[in-house]
Amino acid sequence: MAEKKEIIPKKHPMPAQEPVERIRNFNEVALGYDEETAVAEAKRCLQCKKEPCRQGCPVEVDIPAFIKLVAERDFAGAIKKIKEKNALPAVCGRVCPQENQCEKYCTLGKKHEPVGIGRLERFCADWELARGVLPQEVAPPTGFKVAVVGSGPAGLTCAADLAKLGHKVTVFEALHVAGGVLMYGIPEFRLPKRVVQAEIENLKKLGVEIVTNAVVGKFATVDELMEEEGFDAVFIGTGAGLPYFMNIPGENSCGVYSANEFLTRTNLMKAYLFPEWDTPIKVGRKVAVIGGGNVAMDAARTALRLGAEESWIVYRRSEKELPARHEEVEHAKEEGIKFAFLTNPVRILADENGWVKGMECLRYELGEPDESGRRRPVPIPGSEFVMDVDTVVVAIGQAPNPLVPRTTRGLELGRKGNIVADPQTGATSKPGVFAGGDVVTGAATVILAMGAGRIAARSIHDYLLHKRA
């Protein structure tokens, strides 16, 4: 008879840098489990028959199997199991919204806290990275060439899967380093860039070639890649790289950044190391970040680390509707980020040199639910007031980057300029061209983009085999 297990109701806490300390540095906030904690957390898993956690994973990781291996201290076996399905485990273990995915369905989670699946995934990936990554098996060459446009989560996943199937994959990246939003968008303190680059090095070991400084749509179009450079298929994963602005007066004042600019200067260009690194950034005393998503939290927390005295999240709905992950909101609060809910700017005020000196806002109240199901924010007439800020970061979302969609013949586009692709296959209206991630869905999560990359890789493989037949 199996021994009856004593249930530990809560996840083992994630060791983290203390808030007072971390708001003055860019080091990673969450420090990761050690071996003993990981094993103890893995033993919380009930190894239940139904495995409901698996349905919550967009890339289909065999979660109970890898957790069992961790519990048995077979860490090498555990990471191997994860990597059968997930090309970027060190990334996913850090930035996936597990509470809405695998952990949401965990049987243990019905009465207690779910198993810390994300933390265990991160532990396994870090364990392997610290020891040097073993090469993975690659199928014999098929002779097919596939171009992957964009090296963010969707592109990297697609590239890894196709390379493992024996196809020759070339990834084209517009910026000077690969990684897309993992490099320019998500801050160092949430996702260290060495972790991203280590994962990309692993892809190169699969035979994936990465060409940086290559803007598809400019140096060559998708059509030219296929017709002149001999690619048999193309995957487009160019992301949501076009920032929305609010179109309010004063938005072009000095000291107003899009979240993309604010984060790109800081993360990709390492402006926090200026003047050792050449790219500057300027953050004033009081920063207002407009928006309530993960990007907004990242920007607000970044502003503090860049030396702001006060960093505000300004959001037009209430705390309940914040689209950011709960964990990110909690981290932000611990760090002293201030929240102005039910507030939205109507005008940015500038001084005589064109610099931000304040932001005129309106207070809102929640009305009837809108098409998204959330209660619609309604401005309260006469509630104008001026927020005393000198830096504004606009983090209200991004549209798909138009460079590739606009320069590719025969590609059906959606209303917002997104590429229309079959969610089951990633196929676009153009034969041999597949797409996935934010360029199809609009700004979403890393793991959904990875899931789309995986689905497209499978379809591209089928398409190529069919082409040969």
Partner 1 sequence: MFKILEKQVFSPIIKQMVIEAPRVARKCQPGQFVILRIHEEGERIPLTIADFDREKGTITIVFQEVGKTTKQLGTLEAGDYIKDFVGPLGTPSHIENFGTVICVGGGVGIAPVFPIARALKEAGNHVISIIGARTRDLLFWEDRMREVSSELFVTTDDGSYVRKGFVTDVLKEIIDARGKDNINLVLAIGPQPMMRACCNVTKDYGIKTIVSLNALMVDGTGMCGCCRVTVGGQTRFVCVDGPEFDGHQVDFAELARRSATFRAEEQRALERHTCQCGCGGGK
339 binds partner 1 (CB under 8 A): no
Q: Which of 254, 340, 346, 413 is the binder for partner 1 (CB under 8 A)?
A: 254
Name which of 409, 467, 405 is nearest 438 in CA terms: 405
266 vs 311, beta carbon nearer partner 1:
266
To the nearest whole angstrom, how small is the minimum distance from the Cβ of residue 31 to partner 1? 27
- Taking CB under 8 A as the criterion, the residue among 279, 318, 407, 425 binding partner 1 is 279
Query: Closest CB to partner 1 among 211 and 340?
Result: 211
Q: How far apart are CA 308 and CA 415, in angstroms?
A: 39
- Please tell me whether residue 264 binds partner 1 under the rule CB under 8 A: yes
Reported as type and span, the H/E element at residue 386 is: strand 385-387
Do residues 365 and 222 make contact, with C-beta atoms less than 8 angstroms apart? no
Q: Among residues 34, 60, 278, 319, which is the contact residue for partner 1, using CB under 8 A?
A: 278
Cβ-contact 446, 97 below 8 angstroms: no
Figure out which of the listed residues 81, 83, 265, 430 binds partner 1, where binding follows CB under 8 A.
265
Residue 152 binding partner 1, by CB under 8 A: no
User: Would you give the binding string for partner 1 spanning residues 27-66, x where CB under 8 A is met?
Assistant: ----------------------------------------
Q: How far apart are CA 394 and CA 397, in angstroms?
A: 8
Stretch that binds partner 1, among 69-77, 106-114, 199-207, 278-286 (CB under 8 A): 278-286
- 354 binds partner 1, rule: CB under 8 A: yes
Name the nearest CA neighbour of 253 among 387, 399, 393, 396: 393
**Token reading at 403:** 């460079």
Among residues 170, 258, 391, 459, the one that binds partner 1 under rule CB under 8 A: 258
Q: E-strand spans in 137-183?
A: 145-149, 168-172
Is residue 306 part of the contact set for partner 1 (CB under 8 A)?
no
* Residues 202-241, mask of contacts with partner 1 (x by CB under 8 A): ----------xxxx--xxx--------------------x
Closer to partner 1 by Cβ: residue 326 or 416: 416
Q: Please enumerate in sequence order all residues whose Cβ is within 8 A of that of 224, keeping only pairs 6 or more positions apart, or say none.
A: none
Alpha-carbon gap, residue 29 to 54, rounded angstroms: 28
Q: Does residue 418 interact with partner 1 by CB under 8 A?
A: no
Contact between 321 and partner 1 per CB under 8 A: no
DSSP secondary structure string, 95-137?
A: HS-GGGTHHHH-GGGGTSPPP-HHHHHHHHHHHHHHH-PPPPP
Cβ partners under 8 Å of residue 145, min gap 6: 167, 168, 169, 170, 230, 231, 232
Of positions 79, 169, 200, 269, contacts partner 1 by CB under 8 A: 269
Q: Given the complex with partner 1, which of 221 and 428 has the nearer CB atom? A: 221
Long-range contacts of 48-55 (CB under 8 A, 24+ apart): 48/107, 50/107, 52/105, 52/106, 52/107, 53/102, 53/103, 53/105, 53/106, 53/114, 53/115, 53/117, 54/102, 55/105
Considering CB under 8 A, how many residues would be counted as binding partner 1?
Answer: 43
The rounded distance, in Å, linking the Cα atoms of 363 and 333 is 22
Binding mask 396-415 vs partner 1 (x if CB under 8 A, - otherwise)? Answer: -----xxx------------
Asked if 176 is part of the footprint of partner 1 (rule: CB under 8 A), the reply reads: yes
Chain positions contacting partner 1, by CB under 8 A:
174-176, 184, 212-215, 218-220, 241-243, 245, 247, 251-255, 257-258, 260-261, 264-265, 269-270, 273-280, 282, 353-354, 401-403
